[in-house]
Structure 1
């Protein structure tokens, strides 16, 4: 067993430049921390009081159509408002700096079935979700500098609606984390003349040590620099800069990878596994995208079971991320969880 598997060490996140402290020996300490309530899965296909179910009224009084597949609407409580505008800095005070922003927020309902999260949906249904992501991205990128496709799953992640859905926020600025990823990928490309994440995907594919799911076009790994216990990074194995660069066949294989990855998450602790996930690609107005590679981050909060959550507190908030479970051990646990959903097993 390597020293990195057993000894205390740090790992560098090549996408952000951040470091992660890894302390494997801490897994042996007795657990006396708080636990969350057991995570349950909705079993009814329709809920009369759900604002996202087909035909039901939302908070603003509008009624959803009786949709039969993926459905998109403008968020009734959008975090961003109005059309794109020229940014205006407020004042010249060096200590009080702000700027005016605008944007559009969309809600993507994955399925009319209230009980069907991504791991419970058929691949053909997930293809509809992927196609919706792409079509919405393609429309919004003509107006806004950044389009963030994401999903918060589970009330432990602050999700206010249990009906399976994600969101798309588009705005006229490129967010801070994306700018850091842009810088790191650009620096790598200038040194190695190839995309960082394409090289990384190929290296992980050859190793297999941190691989969770892989098909001909996609690979999901617990990244070498993962901060969250069961964090994963989903990557194409071909040169793709943005969501709308995907061919139809790549959208289909992506649906397969998404289903298998999320099934393994659910199987790990036999619960509807919570997470926040989202897509990063080249900013919309960037002309030279040679250094960029499309990718999706999955950040789940669970640590030891369906009722024990990882908290980023203390040292993590004041210094840098720290983890006890190595990425290699986390990937092994997810692989061993199996690709058949626990609810469908005999």
Structure 2
């Protein structure tokens, strides 16, 4: 990348969207200073938490005394099993049923442990749970969205470590964009867009955060969030059903490293929204797809200062000051040992 501080734009080939990069607005040197976390220390068990083992949830449902991962149907699901009678179709008023189901995955029985604080063996159990749930839901639904919202700043209502799965017949808007873009790229080049992208990033590691034999984590060339990352299968896996034991273990290992590096940037429990994009399950040919996860963290300069997508970002297009290359360098240079384990 040129050292010229002039503004420039970059295109996201997965969505067709552009992001404005303004490095001249970020000309203060990065000092590496960190702030102590403002988060209150949590207990391993919280009697009022609806996700802790043995506690009551909505409708007098009681959690089992689970000791690993725990999955249940979301008590306040955004999707329902019954269909509506759509309005009469017209160019201005279009409506369709959103039939599906939603589940919650508790990653650990411990109320105060986030993903980077779990040992690899427990993270592997999370990966295996994702695989099992995806396999079951993909038999019925075209789009299975596995995701995690971490931290109050991301609207997470419960600090207990957990994620969600929303499954439905329709393709979610972001998945549909990626399906169309990847398919068009494959038809033109006879290769996978994300496979080509992963190979190119590995050759020039300026945006690489970490990698192992099966997975690559980069700050994407087109990133819009300050420390956004893209976690890619290096083996061309299209969805969770194709992961073998080695790839699953490698995934657990790199998730621990990536999320640990996040926490170590500001010595805080780094908030983010993370989600997996699998190939739609109704595709006859998945050659154009690569399984990947997006991490969208909002923090910008400290544990308490976030990037707001407002004004121009809402009315024009996404904009960032910190270049993806600098963000990747910061993430690469922090320790891969969690800061709480270093004390």
Which TM-score applies when normalising by structure 1? Answer: 0.94
Paired residue for 2:262? 265
User: What secondary structure sits across from 2:58 in the alignment?
Assistant: coil
**How many residues matched?**
338
CA distance in 2, matches of 1:250, 1:318: 41
Deviation at 1:81, TM superposition (A): 1.1
Deviation at 1:6, TM superposition (A): 2.7
Preserved contact between residue 5 and residue 326 of structure 1 (Cα < 8 Å) = no
User: What secondary structure sits across from 1:63 in the alignment?
Assistant: coil
Preserved contact between residue 212 and residue 331 of structure 1 (Cα < 8 Å) = yes
Correspondence 1:130 to 2:124: no
Q: How does 1:157-176 map to 2 (within 5 A)?
A: 157-176=154-173
Paired residue for 2:98? 101
Mean CA deviation greater in 13-22 or 87-96: 87-96
CA distance in 2, matches of 1:60, 1:109: 19
CA distance in 2, matches of 1:301, 1:183: 28
CA distance in 2, matches of 1:206, 1:88: 53
User: What secondary structure sits across from 1:287 in the alignment?
Assistant: coil
Deviation at 1:93, TM superposition (A): 3.5
Paired residue for 2:55? 56
Mean CA deviation greater in 4-13 or 214-223: 4-13
User: What secondary structure sits across from 1:108 in the alignment?
Assistant: strand
Preserved contact between residue 210 and residue 217 of structure 2 (Cα < 8 Å) = yes
Deviation at 1:5, TM superposition (A): 6.0
CA distance in 2, matches of 1:47, 1:125: 20
Correspondence 1:70 to 2:78: no
Paired residue for 2:205? 208
Correspondence 1:314 to 2:300: no
CA distance in 2, matches of 1:17, 1:39: 38
Deviation at 1:111, TM superposition (A): 0.1
Deviation at 1:41, TM superposition (A): 5.5
Preserved contact between residue 274 and residue 301 of structure 1 (Cα < 8 Å) = yes
CA distance in 1, matches of 2:129, 2:183: 29
Cα RMSD, aligned residues only = 1.8
Paired residue for 2:320? 323
Preserved contact between residue 146 and residue 284 of structure 1 (Cα < 8 Å) = yes
CA distance in 2, matches of 1:117, 1:173: 31
Which TM-score applies when normalising by structure 2? Answer: 0.95
Deviations 1:314-346 (A, max 9, x none): 111011110000000000000111100001114
Paired residue for 1:80? 79
Paired residue for 2:33? none
Gap regions ≥5 residues in structure 2: 29-35
Paired residue for 1:242? 239
CA distance in 2, matches of 1:253, 1:340: 17
Paired residue for 2:153? 156
